[in-house]
Amino acid sequence: MKDSKHIVVLGGGVIGLSVAEACTRRGHRVTLLERHGEQRTGCSYGNAGMVVPSHFVPLAAPGMVALGLKWMWNPESPFYIKPRLDPDLIRWGMRFMFSATRSHVARCAPLLRDLHLASREDYQKFAAEGEDIGLVSKGLLMLCKEAHTLDEEAAMAAQARTLGIPAEVLDAKASARFDPGVTMDIAGSIHYPKDCHLKPERYLAALQRLAQDRGAKLLWNTRVLGWARDHGRLRAVRTSAGDIEGDEFVLCGGVWSDEMIRDLGIRLPMQAGKGYSITVTQPVELPALCSILTEARVAVTPMGNDLRFGGTMEMSGISETISPRRVEGILQAIPRYFPNFRRSHFDGIKPWYGLRPCSPDGMPYLGRSAAADNLLVATGHAMMGVSLAPVTGTIAARLLDGENPGFDLQLLSPDRFA
């Protein structure tokens, strides 16, 4: 057992709570700060809850720039950038464009595969220990409405298999046999058997309970205001609740991470990618597998007797408003794939939204920062937060204890855009 440290975790979403739980498991004293209240609805809570080794391609990939330009003018499309004269957005966009290359994907894919698979194993252990997080390990279906999309996804499946990720191409009839609980109108699908899904709310509640049972202190409605430094190290974080001293500080602040550490002289390029979801409590049909409506970029997740539909990537800054047109784009897509669903089935259901922290190269920030000897960064997971949360907590705890993280983290360096 390493000597116990006081570790201050900044951020109480799925990444921050995973880090806190992993550190308390190792016997460390943890204080976690969260800018919002305990009854939160941020991006860790209402998302699709998918664990996806199939998602080995980062957001910054070839074709995404052209696709984004095509979609951004349609307010109901899967991707939208609110036009605005924002220097941070412009710099982010330029970095995204330069990152969206085949060589970038080739470098990132093996690491993303290994991280997702490690998290999947951690989730299975978590469930085996008796934690009811609603884990379902039946795989994921990429549902393709058009034949040309199925061909494109079949090529992606072939790439997955070269990475050791199993994937099977199914026609419409085979897809229906895989999931007879829902009527589909599709050309076919790709089945990724290693993918799984869970209830993110249950996982977060379990992390919080476990961390607190081991003595973690959670401070809600607490904002970071600045830092007290001492010879290259952070002595304390200055907050709305007063100064909090610590031995190590872990930044897990999501879309607010960059503003938290600006006065330390480093930048974490980040844009908030707003996503929406709708959860139906009595769906007309209930699939057994999670799926993605490929052309529409809509995620579908059965959660017990409920069914959640989520999607869109809206770059409109840190905004608390809901765009009805963005939600409508999700709802209009569903009956095209699931014809027994009607738009009226969603009337009166309040949509959820969350702000995903998106780096310009589509990869998380994870590792030590040169800004301070005792600063660790773990943020920027975009749409992969739930999928990568357990392994992120494990890696952070290893680094804090001076151990080998178990992965080459060069591509995730928080100083890579310095």
* Same domain for 214 and 75: no
CB atoms within 10 A of CB 73: 10
Average pLDDT of 80-98? 86
Crossing angle of the two packed helices 200-213 and 14-25, in degrees rounded to 10:
40
Q: What is the structure's pLDDT at 81?
A: 77
294-353 pLDDT, tens digit per residue, is 999 999 999 999 999 999 888 888 887 888 888 999 999 999 999 999 999 999 999 999
In angstroms, the CA 312 to CA 49 distance is 15
Q: What is the structure's pLDDT at 156?
A: 96
Write down which residue in 333, 358, 383 finishes a domain.
358
In angstroms, the CA 89 to CA 315 distance is 9
* Same domain for 211 and 79: no
In angstroms, the CA 163 to CA 166 distance is 9
Note whether 60 and 96 are within 8 A (CB): yes
In angstroms, the CA 32 to CA 216 distance is 7
Average pLDDT of 44-50? 89
* Same domain for 167 and 83: yes
Domain with 92, as residue range(s), is 51-98+135-196+270-358
* Same domain for 297 and 335: yes
Assign residue 38 the CATH number of its domain. Answer: 3.50.50.60
> Looking at the 3D structure of the chain, how many domains does it have?
2
* Same domain for 253 and 382: yes
* Same domain for 278 and 172: yes
Q: Look at residue 13 and tell me if it is in a domain.
A: yes
Tally DSSP H helices, then E strands, for the chain: 10, 20
- Report percent pLDDT > 90 for the chain: 83
* Same domain for 279 and 331: yes
Q: Look at residue 191 and tell me if it is in a domain.
A: yes
* Same domain for 55 and 188: yes
* Same domain for 275 and 405: no
Write down which residue in 358, 373, 399 finishes a domain.
358
Is the pLDDT at 410 greater than 90, yes or no?
yes
* Same domain for 284 and 210: no
Write down which residue in 319, 339, 358 finishes a domain.
358
E strands of 186-321, at which residues? 188-192, 196-197, 217-219, 224-230, 233-239, 242-245, 248-251, 271-280, 290-293, 298-303, 306-315
* Same domain for 399 and 282: no
Q: What is the structure's pLDDT at 40?
A: 62
The region of weakest confidence among 53-57, 277-281, 318-322 is 318-322
Q: Look at residue 234 and tell me if it is in a domain.
A: yes
With tokens 């061909």, the residue in question is: 151
Burial 335-358 (b: 16+ CB within 10 A, else e): eebbeebeeebbeeeebbbbbbbb
Q: Look at residue 346 and tell me if it is in a domain.
A: yes
Assign residue 297 the CATH number of its domain. Answer: 3.30.9.10
168-203 pLDDT, tens digit per residue, is 999 999 999 999 999 999 999 999 999 999 999 999
Is the pLDDT at 220 greater than 90, yes or no?
yes
Q: Look at residue 118 and tell me if it is in a domain.
A: no
* Same domain for 157 and 244: no
Q: Look at residue 129 and tell me if it is in a domain.
A: no
CB atoms within 10 A of CB 48: 24
Q: What is the structure's pLDDT at 41?
A: 60
Q: Look at residue 212 and tell me if it is in a domain.
A: yes
Q: Look at residue 408 and tell me if it is in a domain.
A: yes
Confidence of residue 291 (pLDDT cuts 50, 70, 90): very high
